C-alpha cells in the first residue's frame, strides 16, 4: 500500500498546513562551477505535504538546486535543512540524512542486470538492513502501487521507458522518504508514456508525500502543484499558486517564458 510507504507520523494524506515549520528549508544557497554561478542566493521553504514545481528555461538552475537538496551537488555557500537536519553541516551523517530524501532522475538509473524487484529491494537491504524476505515484501507492495505488480521479475530491457521510471519511483518510495525530489522525470519518455508516470506522481501527492519537482509538464503543474516557482539565471524570479503564476504572472521574465511554452 502506498500509505505504508508514507512516514508513519500522522502526516500521510495531509496537505500543507499554514504556519507549519518547513520540512525542507534552503537559505542563502549559492553554487559555483569555476567562474559560473549557477545559483545566486536561493531561499526556499517547502512545507510537509506540499508539492512545489520548479519551472524555467534550461540553464536557470532548477536541477542544480534540486541536486543540492541531497548534496549530489555540493553547495558553495548556504544551508539546507531536511526534516530538522542541516545536511550541509560539517560532520553530518550524509548517508543517514539521505534516507529521508528520495530522488527520481530523468534517466531512471536502474541496474540492467537486476529485475524490477531487485532494483527496488537493493537499497532496502543495503541501506535499511532489511532481510531478503522483508525487502521483497515491501518491494512487491511498492511495485503494485505504481501498477507494476506483474513486472516484478522483468529486467529493465523488457520494460518501456514509462515502466522503468515507475520502477524508479517505487524504489524511492520503498525507502519511506520524507521528501521526494523529481528531476525531469518525464523528459526522456515518449509522449504516449508520460501520462502513466504523471498518474503515479499524482497518486504519491494525494497520499501526502512532500514533493519538489523540476519539470516542463506545465499542464500537470497547473493541475497538481500547490506552488510554482519560476527560476531564471540562478534566481527565484516569481512564485505563487499555479493559478497566479500561469494566469497572471507579475514579472516580465515569467511572462516571456510562459508565452513560449504551452500549458
pLDDT tens for 82-105 read 999 999 999 999 888 888 999 999
pLDDT for 16: 55
pLDDT for 96: 86
Neighbours of 94 (CB within 10 A): 13
pLDDT for 127: 86
Neighbours of 10 (CB within 10 A): 8
pLDDT for 17: 53
Grid coordinates given for 75: 553547495
pLDDT for 6: 46
* Integer Cα distance of 185 and 189 in angstroms: 8
pLDDT for 219: 92
pLDDT for 7: 46
pLDDT for 15: 56
pTM attached to this predicted model? 0.90
Long-range Cβ contacts of 154-158 (<8 Å, 24+ apart): 154/115, 154/116, 155/112, 155/113, 155/114, 155/115, 155/116, 156/108, 156/110, 156/111, 156/112, 156/116, 156/119, 157/112
pLDDT for 258: 94
Task: Please give the backbone phi and psi of residue 154, each rounded to the nearest 5 degrees, phi first.
Answer: -85, 145
162 sits in the region (left: phi over 0; alpha: psi -120 to 50; else beta) called: alpha
| Interstrand relation of 51-55 and 235-240 (parallel, antiparallel or unpaired) | unpaired
User: CA 258: distance to chain centroid?
Assistant: 22
Ranges of the chain whose pLDDT falls below 70: 1-20, 262-263
Amino acid at each position: 500500500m502506498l500509505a505504508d510507504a508514507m512516514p508513519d507520523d500522522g502526516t500521510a494524506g495531509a496537505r500543507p498546513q499554514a504556519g507549519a515549520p518547513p520540512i525542507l528549508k534552503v537559505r542563502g544557497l549559492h553554487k559555483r562551477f569555476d567562474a559560473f554561478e549557477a545559483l545566486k542566493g536561493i531561499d526556499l521553504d517547502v512545507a510537509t505535504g506540499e508539492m512545489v514545481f520548479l519551472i524555467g528555461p534550461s540553464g536557470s538552475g532548477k536541477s542544480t538546486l534540486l541536486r543540492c537538496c541531497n548534496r549530489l551537488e555540493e553547495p558553495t555557500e548556504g544551508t539546507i535543512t531536511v526534516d530538522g537536519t542541516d545536511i550541509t553541516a560539517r560532520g553530518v551523517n550524509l548517508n543517514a540524512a539521505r534516507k529521508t530524501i528520495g530522488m527520481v532522475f530523468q534517466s531512471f538509473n536502474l541496474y540492467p542486470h537486476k529485475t524490477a524487484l531487485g532494483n527496488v529491494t537493493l537499497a532496502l537491504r543495503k541501506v535499511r538492513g532489511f532481510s531478503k524476505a522483508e525487502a521483497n515484501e515491501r518491494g512487491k507492495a511498492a511495485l503494485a502501487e505504481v501498477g507494476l505488480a506483474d513486472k516484478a521479475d522483468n529486467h529493465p530491457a523488457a520494460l518501456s521507458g514509462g515502466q522503468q521510471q515507475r520502477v524508479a519511483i517505487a524504489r524511492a518510495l520503498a525507502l519511506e522518504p520524507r521528501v521526494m525530489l523529481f528531476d525531469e522525470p518525464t523528459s526522456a519518455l515518449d509522449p504516449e508514456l508520460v501520462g502513466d508516470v504523471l498518474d503515479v506522481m499524482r497518486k504519491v501527492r494525494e497520499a501526502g508525500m512532500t514533493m519538489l519537482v523540476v519539470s516542463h509538464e506545465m499542464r500537470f503543474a497547473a493541475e497538481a502543484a500547490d506552488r510554482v516557482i519560476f527560476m531564471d539565471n540562478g534566481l527565484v524570479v516569481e512564485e505563487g499558486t499555479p493559478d497566479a503564476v500561469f494566469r497572471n504572472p507579475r514579472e516580465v521574465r515569467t511572462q516571456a517564458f510562459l508565452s513560449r511554452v504551452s500549458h
